[in-house]
Amino acid sequence: QWMVKSKVISELQEACWEMMAAMASDIILLLDSDNDGIRTHAIKFVEGLIITLSPRMADSDVPKRHENDISLERIPKDHPYIKYNVLWEEGKAALEQLLKFMVHPAISSINLTAALGSLATIARQRPMFMAEVIQAYETLHANLPPTLAKSQVSSVRKNLKLHLLSVLRHPSSGDFQPQITTLLVDLGTQQAEIARSMPSPRDTRKRPRDEPDATLKKMKIEPPLGEDDEDKDLEPTLVAAPKAAGQANVPSDTDITAEFLQPLLTPENVANLVLISMVYLPEAMPASFQATYTPVESAGTEAQIKHLARLMATQMTAAGLGPGVEQTKHLKEEPKEEKAAKPESVVIKRRLSALAQGQAISVLGAQGSATNPLEEEAPQAKRRPEPIIPATQPRLAGAGGRKKVFRLADVLKPLSDTQMEKLKLSAVKRILRAERAVACSGAAQARVKILASLVTQFEVPLKSEVLAFILDDVRGRLDLAFAWLFQEYNVYLSQLPAGSLERYDQCLIGLLAGLQEKPDQKDGIFTKVVLEAPLITESALEVIRKYCEDESRTYLGMSTLRDLIFKRPSRQFQYLHVLLDLSSHEKDKVRQQALLFIKRMYEKDQLREYVEKFALNYLQLLVHPNPPSVLFGADKDTEVAAPWTEETIKQCLYLYLALLPHNHKLIHELASVYTEAIADIKRTVLRVIEQPIRGMGMNSPELLLLVENCPKGAETLVTRCLHSLTDKVPPSPELVKRVRDLYHKRLPDVRFLIPVLNGLEKKEVIQALPKLIKLNPIVVKEVFNRLLGTQHGDGASAVSPLNPGELLIALHNIDSSKCDMKSIIKATNLCFAERNVYTSEVLAVVMQQLMEQSPLPMLLMRTVIQALTMYPRLGGFVMNILSRLIMKQVWKYPKVWEGFIKCCQRTKPQSFQVVLQLPPPQLAAIFDKCPELREPLLSHVRALTPHQ
């Protein structure tokens, strides 16, 4: 308004105008923003821009608060700076931009709702655009975006219904009532509600719809003053611009196609269409269809056929098909042809055609019919400089007088290599940047093909540019990645047998390495690229391996390898080898995951042999005196100077031990390797074998066979296996039988018996005791734990062939010629250490039974003294034992007699009653050995009553 009121435009006003114009352009570009909220604000801005850059009409429904707003009809045509017709064209262009935005297949629900409201506002305030708005609503109704959820579809339909009703109430909706009514019925609107929303005849008669208001009339009457040539060129547009009726009378693409289809929709044709379409229906009804479907009313009527024709026409127009699209295309091409046929081009065309036919210009000029058009066009041509016509100077060529033919190469300067590279790169960049625009136009597939062809033909800079573009949004540009990859592979195939895989390899590695650098790939794009690549090269396989070694992506990487193994059988062993290599990886997570996958593959018959062979090859490496270089990543199996470490030993065992519970026959391979291995390797094997052996179970026929035929040098391995099996569960009868046979017939090593002690007979255990208690103290402790049932385990403990009392008695009865007394004493001490087992009751029974034996056991009194020390309350019982020993003439057993005296000495004065029972010689002997007993005993006797 500020500029409209100004008669003279200042520099400040010009600067403001330019700044506002630039701002408007920038905001319109924000329709392509990545932010939903920004796009919504941009939609509202475009709505306001369209209303401002279009003239208000008599029946424009303008809200009161906007009545004083500036719009196009308020701009005088003779304004010195603002051009009416230019702004009018910009307003129409903005509307076209908004319509394109609304029918985009990827539009969000929020933006679509905003766009629907904006179009309804535009239709009410600017009725000349009502035809475009109604057609846009029809297109949207027939082509709802596939990205919308079920709830969003319902919301959009509800909004569409409300806006259609608001447009229907407008007085100018009369010409469009059939389309609006049909759409509303499809959206589930009741006829009564539609009838209520119809404009009253009085409203429609108030003023003809195509009659502009007084301001417009005035503008038409006033002659244009002070307009430049540009305005004159656009004059026809200005005259027709405000006439909505004129626009409405021009049939749209959809109208033309609908008229074409309507007579073709006979019952027979429709039935055939339905039958054909049923073949392509999906298994499940799409949510969007379910949400938008409305039952067909009055099928077969003229109105319904007309509606069906419009629905189909809308779909066909959106797909770029139908006579309406073709006719519009021809209409658009005609102005181009007219523009191309300007005077200068006519001159050039005719002169060049004459030269091509070998005729002189003068001959053409001699013909009246040919010269007239040139003469007619001459006045217009004066406004522009004459075009330069190169190489058209006549030159006689022999008798015929032929002219030199024009060649483009003669007048063009060749480009340098740098310029050509720059042009190629900028061309590709433009195609890359045109992603959104091309997607809207429906030429996305063509763009992908063009890019794939270009990047395949040219050199590295283009490839890196396209690769960076793909990796910037891998999910959205995966089709381009595959097109490029397959194009490179196709080039390789076309050049066979001399073709090189280098370019294809670079493309594949670039994609995979780029995906590997992405922080998060949970959606499996890496796997998809690998599985759909036509060929996996060695370098690509190395990238996949590195992907597997990344602990955060181990599972995804190995899942990809697994799919390669099963889906590409021609090279499955090559892929399997990578997975097998990872089974000995230094990272625990990587290794464990690889072993899990391999164990599943081991169940497949076609892979079983290869996996097993790989595991055994690694196991055989343990027979080398030093670790082979293959364990350190080298290809050749040569030994290195480094010694075996626990880590390198385990590296050779991981896969083998994982397979062992699944194939028990492999245990014999371990036994044969074990016999040849050095001591360090044997120790490590014994440490790691426990879990796999438990996994086999003691009923494994192969394990029982190993026990039965224990190889020489593998005794410790077999013993360790037996211990692992019986640590938490009792030995099975079959296992006991094999061990017993091994012990008695082949290897009389008592250590074999320890794991199965609880499965032996009592007699066998007692016979083995002398040998068992002479072993290492730690081993003896384990023996007693097994026999006493005190080993720490969560399994069911076996019933010992000897109870605690019997074990202690058996130890007392061991022949000192078979075992030294020191070992026996240590063994009894182990028993006494188990207070929970050897209670006072158990010890009382043991002492009672030992005292009744004849001859008396040598360690009897030692046990009595220990029992009394542990349980002082046994004093009375011990006195009874001592009294009975006197009856058995304990002095005849020197060692026992010695213990008897010590016991009496320790239990005084309680033992005085027992001492007084001794015969005089033995009493004297006690006094000789313990003179300190004499006085206390004498005092005790003197204190006795005559009766005592």
Q: Which helix (H) or strand (E) holds 720?
A: helix 715-726
> In this structure, are residues 53 and 94 in contact, taking their beta carbons and an 8 Å threshold?
yes
Domain end among 136, 168, 196: 196
Q: Find how far residue 50's CA is from the centre of its chain.
A: 45
Q: Report the pLDDT value the prediction gives residue 381, as an integer from 0 to 100.
A: 36
In a domain, 142, yes or no: yes
Domain end among 503, 535, 567: 535
Task: Please give the Cα distance from 223 to 211 (Å, whole number).
Answer: 19
Both tokens assigned to 833? 């250490």
Q: Find how far residue 491's CA is from the centre of its chain.
A: 31
Both tokens assigned to 811? 């130890």
Token look-up 């609880």 returns 758
Task: Please give the Cα distance from 828 to 838 (Å, whole number).
Answer: 11
> In this structure, are residues 184 and 164 in contact, taking their beta carbons and an 8 Å threshold?
yes
Task: Please give the Cα distance from 340 to 343 (Å, whole number).
Answer: 9
Domain end among 150, 181, 196: 196
Give the predicted TM-score (pTM) of the model: 0.52
In a domain, 447, yes or no: yes
β-partners of residue 628 are 639
pLDDT, averaged in runs of 10, over the chain (948 residues): 73 85 88 88 91 86 82 77 82 89 85 91 90 86 82 87 88 84 84 83 49 40 38 37 44 79 81 78 71 66 76 78 78 55 37 38 35 38 39 40 58 83 84 83 85 80 84 88 92 84 91 83 81 93 92 91 93 94 92 94 92 94 87 60 87 93 93 92 93 91 91 90 87 90 86 87 90 88 84 58 90 88 91 90 92 89 91 89 88 90 86 82 84 79 72
Q: Report the pLDDT value the prediction gives residue 206, as an integer from 0 to 100.
A: 47
Dihedral of alpha carbons 348, 353, 358, 364, sign: negative
In a domain, 231, yes or no: no
Q: Report the pLDDT value the prediction gives residue 382, as an integer from 0 to 100.
A: 35
β-partners of residue 212 are 57
Both tokens assigned to 350? 């005719």
Q: Report the pLDDT value the prediction gives residue 231, as an integer from 0 to 100.
A: 39
| Amino acid identity for residue 468 in this structure | A
Token look-up 């004129």 returns 246
Task: Please give the Cα distance from 692 to 803 (Å, whole number).
Answer: 33
3-state secondary structure string, 201-261?
HHHHHCCCCCCECHHHHHHHHCCCCCCCHHHHHCHHHHHHCCCHHHHHHCCCHHHHHHHHH
User: What is the DSSP code (8-state) at residue 797?
Assistant: P
> In this structure, are residues 533 and 519 in contact, taking their beta carbons and an 8 Å threshold?
no
Instruction: Kindly report the backbone phi and psi dihedral angles of residue 212, in degrees, each rounded to the nearest multiple of 5, phi listed first.
Output: -75, 165
Both tokens assigned to 768? 């083995």
* Helix, strand or coil, per DSSP, at residue 57: strand
Residue 380's nearest CA partner among 416, 415, 347, 331 is 347
* Helix, strand or coil, per DSSP, at residue 615: helix
What CATH code is carried by the domain that includes residue 183?
A: 1.25.10.10
Q: Which helix (H) or strand (E) holds 430?
A: helix 417-433
Q: Report the pLDDT value the prediction gives residue 76, as an integer from 0 to 100.
A: 77
β-partners of residue 639 are 628
Q: Report the pLDDT value the prediction gives residue 236, as an integer from 0 to 100.
A: 36
* Helix, strand or coil, per DSSP, at residue 295: coil
Q: Which domain holds residue 40?
A: 2-196
Task: Please give the Cα distance from 464 to 230 (Å, whole number).
Answer: 46
DSSP string, 320-366: T-SHHHHHHHHHHHHHHHHHHT-HHHHHHHHHHHHHHTT--HHHHHH
Q: Output the furthest CA–CA distance in the chain (Å, rounded).
A: 182
Q: Which helix (H) or strand (E) holds 135?
A: helix 130-142
Side-chain-side CA neighbours of 710 within 13 Å: the count stands at 24
Q: Report the pLDDT value the prediction gives residue 683, as an integer from 0 to 100.
A: 93
In a domain, 40, yes or no: yes
Residues 6+ apart with CB under 8 A from 52: 69, 70, 71, 72, 91
Task: Please give the Cα distance from 212 to 58 (Å, whole number).
Answer: 6
Report the number of distinct structural domains present in the chain.
2
> In this structure, are residues 864 and 841 in contact, taking their beta carbons and an 8 Å threshold?
no
Task: Please give the Cα distance from 309 to 303 (Å, whole number).
Answer: 10
In a domain, 599, yes or no: no
Residue 42's nearest CA partner among 31, 32, 26 is 31
> In this structure, are residues 473 and 480 in contact, taking their beta carbons and an 8 Å threshold?
no
Residues 6+ apart with CB under 8 A from 409: none
The neighbour count for residue 163, using CB atoms within 10 Å, is 21
Task: Please give the Cα distance from 400 to 126 (Å, whole number).
Answer: 68
β-partners of residue 57 are 212
Task: Please give the Cα distance from 736 to 742 (Å, whole number).
Answer: 10
Both tokens assigned to 814? 């061991």
**401 Ramachandran zone, left/alpha/beta (phi>0; psi -120 to 50):** left
In a domain, 428, yes or no: yes
Task: Please give the Cα distance from 807 to 10 (Å, whole number).
Answer: 120
The neighbour count for residue 793, using CB atoms within 10 Å, is 12
In a domain, 219, yes or no: no
Q: Report the pLDDT value the prediction gives residue 161, as an integer from 0 to 100.
A: 87
